[in-house]
Chain A
Amino acid sequence: MIKINNLHASIDGKEILKGINLEVKAGEVHAIMGPNGSGKSTLSSVLAGREEFEVTEGSVEFDGKDLLDLSPEDRAREGLFLAFQYPVEIPGVSNINFLKTAINEKRAYLNQEPVSAKEFLGMVKEKSALVELDSKLANRSVNEGFSGGEKKRNEIFQMAMLSPKLSILDETDSGLDIDALRIVANGVNKLKSPNNATIVITHYQRLLDYIVPDFVHVLYNGKIVKSGGKELAIELEEKGYDWIKSENVEL
């Protein structure tokens, strides 16, 4: 699905990612953990195509294509989805209209017919139930006046509507109470299939109680310093990030 090779990226001349190697196959869930400032959000931003970051070395292959060669919108249309840590408000643009535009842009890119009104409404009904999103929210402006939990649920709702190949959840658990966390995690789990993959970026282990990863990677100082199964997350929770830091003082 995605193959990241020796990825280096910097912002304003400062190197943040210092050689990331990661391969995620279809059907897999990977968790990327790490202390603040380790480069977790930079990695998701670079993959999604944020312009401020400059890729200085390395390559990323996404479903057979050179990801770094694609514009951010084309990456999305190819099936890369980023659930934002801080979803953006767009006043006056209804969630529905926004999503319909997004879906039709993707369909046009794939030479498909635009979605019909009936089909679209059916999807909205089905997918909003998945994250227990009030249908009223679907008609409100994108994220405007949403609570923190509603914003995150809305991200997963959008993910469900766009059915991406690869979803990157960037600190989706931050700012969520336990009920919202469960709802969001349930949504993600229901969307899981042998044909798609998920990268969960998180600071804490608790989200991984709900979304059980196949692999856990620890990112520190711009590099993946440790990889393992789901038990790595638990170990990390017990020992804290200082454990990683002390093991990697030379970095």
Chain B
Amino acid sequence: MAYTEDDLKEELKDKEYKYGFTSNIESDKLPPGLNEEVVHLISAKKNEPEWMLEYRLNAFRAWQKMVEPEWAHVRYPKIDFQALSYYSAPKKKGDVKWEDIDPEMKATMDKLGISMDEQKALSGVAVDFVFDSVSVKTSFQEKLKELGIIFCSFSEAVQNHPELVKKYIGTVVPTSDNFYAALNSAVFSDGSFCYIPKGVRCPMELSTYFRINEANTGQFERTLVVADEGSYVSYLEGCTAPSRDENQLHAAIVELIALDNAEIKYSTVQNWFPGDKEGKGGVYNFVTKRGICHKNAKISWTQVETGSAVTWKYPSCILKGDNSIGEFYSVAVTNHYQQADTGTKMIHLGKNTKSTIISKGISAGHSNNSYRGLVQIHKNASNARNFTQCDSLLMGDQCGAHTFPYIEAKNSTAKIEHEATTSKIGEDQIFYCNQRGIDTEKAINLIVNGYAKEVLNKLPMEFAVEAQKLLEISLEGSVG
């Protein structure tokens, strides 16, 4: 293992939200409010082609007719969408030259533990760093270019690869898909774009680090990953936000397209600011993530969710092609007053399609943790198979765990398995550890990490270590 117990101790010294600092970077920010003019302005600021503007305007018009969904098992005060600012960019525009990048921003990245130094980054991670809304710098671009891999900010993709963006954007998550997706499609500011050409196996993990900095800005980023026939890519997404009293809105879209025989592995570690112990502040996270699998393709979502005050998120797979595979591995931790409603949808359209869902919820404090999943087998999807395992772990007696599994099978050859368990960290387990010389805090870490192991094992090595530490920090002091 790369880190030692001493490192961990060092980490745990400040147990409060570690990333709660604000950077003083002058920013170029639109006044609050949302109307067609704002959409025009965003598009103009980004110098977008006509078709992109049209796309945004269509989405905006669709959004205006929609209402905020209320079916999720979460409660929060109504968001005033007119009180938010829809665009914020650091004033010193991030050019490709590393030397020109604002030193404050560099320091921010240091605190986040992101090294843009290519020497240091020999670990093989290419990072596209999204600071509020504008992508700052993308490392490893040159190296990836040799293989024909495109990995850049979404804005750059719109400028440099319009044919690809135009062809795929909105094909998995249409503009009118849902309230937040429509909002994102209208005002998205930036994000990441990735294209892997036919038959290419991306040699390194591609990574995006999102961070919300400006107060009262919604972050609306978009990620589009296209894996052409027979290609492979592993994509990491990490998210943090500084502590703020006002809630910040985050409504992202991720679209994955795995063409015939392609494979996409998409991993997320999310630790947006969860609010303080009294439930004040924190990020509202309303995300639409969906992928489509063509013939023999595979999409695997892995997520470790420890942050946000409210999480509303269902990374899904449309298994369109025959023999395609969808996977969803999730650990969702809620503590204090956090609320999470998360899960997945597996839509089986093709023959011999397979899906696996492993969901591990951990609730502590006064939090509420819900799993919501849909397994849908369509008429023509013969021999479709699904396995779902949905576990909940409770810590203390003030928290809640809920499961809402939906199963719809329209083909009689379908095989669907669903397993669910709910358990409590027992005083017996803790005492057993104590009696072996392990204190309670460590015992909880052991037990929780053991419980989540199946999912943590799916994460790339470095991410797994980070995720483990996050679990520990999130559950700090949750058992007295």
Contacts and interface: CB of A to CB of B under 8 A. Distances in A.
A48 interface: yes
Contacts of B404: none
Contacts, number: 79
Interface residues of A, number: 34
B436 A98 contact: yes
B450 A48 contact: no
Interface stretch (A24-32, A85-93, A180-188, A212-220): A85-93
A108 to B, nearest CB: 8
B426, B436, B437: which has the most chain A beta carbons within 10 Å? B437
A87 B432 contact: yes
Interface in B414-444: 426-429, 431-440, 442
B434 A76 contact: yes
B437 A98 contact: no
Contacts of B204: none
Given A90-B450, A92-B453, A98-B446, A82 B437 contact: no
B436 A102 contact: yes
Contacts of B440: 73
Given A98-B446, A101-B442, A101-B446, A92 B451 contact: yes
A90 B436 contact: no
A93 B438 contact: no
Contacts of A141: 450
**SS class, residues of chain B in contact with chain A:** helix
B438 A73 contact: yes
A55 B453 CA distance: 39
A93 B450 contact: yes
B410 to A, nearest CB: 36
Contacts of A114: 5
Nearest to A99: B436
B454 interface: yes
Contacts of A91: 450-451
Given A90-B450, A92-B452, A72 B434 contact: yes
B411 interface: no
A176 B48 CA distance: 76
Given A88-B426, A92-B449, A93-B447, A76 B435 contact: yes
Nearest to B440: A73
Given A90-B429, A90-B446, A90-B447, A102 B437 contact: yes
A15 interface: no
A173 B425 CA distance: 28
Contacts of B439: 71, 73, 105
Nearest to B452: A92
Contacts of A50: 431
Nearest to B446: A93
A152 interface: no
Contacts of A76: 434-437
B447 A102 contact: no
Interface string A91-133: 1110001110111111001000010000000000000000000
A107 to B, nearest CB: 9
A241 interface: no
A162 B428 CA distance: 20
Contacts of A204: none
A203 interface: no
A104 B438 CA distance: 9
Contact of A88 (B428, B437, B449, B452): B428
Contacts of B427: 51
A91 B454 CA distance: 11
B4 to A, nearest CB: 9
A82 B432 CA distance: 9
Given A102-B438, A105-B438, A88 B429 contact: yes
A88 B450 contact: no
Nearest to A91: B450
A18 interface: no
Interface string A237-250: 00000000000000
B10 to A, nearest CB: 15
Interface string A24-52: 00000000000000000000000011110
A77 B437 contact: yes
B435, B440, B442, B446: which has the most chain A beta carbons within 10 Å? B435
Interface in B230-276: none
A158 B436 contact: yes
B434 A73 contact: yes
B67 to A, nearest CB: 42
A103 B442 CA distance: 13
Contacts of B454: 92
Interface string A152-166: 000000100010000
Nearest to A82: B435
A104 B442 CA distance: 12
Contacts of A162: 436-437
A84 interface: yes
Contacts of B428: 88
Contacts of A75: 435
Contact of B435 (A48, A90, A92, A99): A48
Contacts of B436: 76, 98-99, 102, 105, 158, 162
Interface of A: 48-51, 71-73, 75-77, 81-82, 84, 87-93, 97-99, 101-106, 109, 114, 141, 158, 162
Interface of B: 5, 426-429, 431-440, 442, 446-447, 449-454
9 contacts: A51-B427, A72-B431, A84-B435, A91-B450, A93-B446, A98-B436, A98-B446, A101-B442, A106-B437
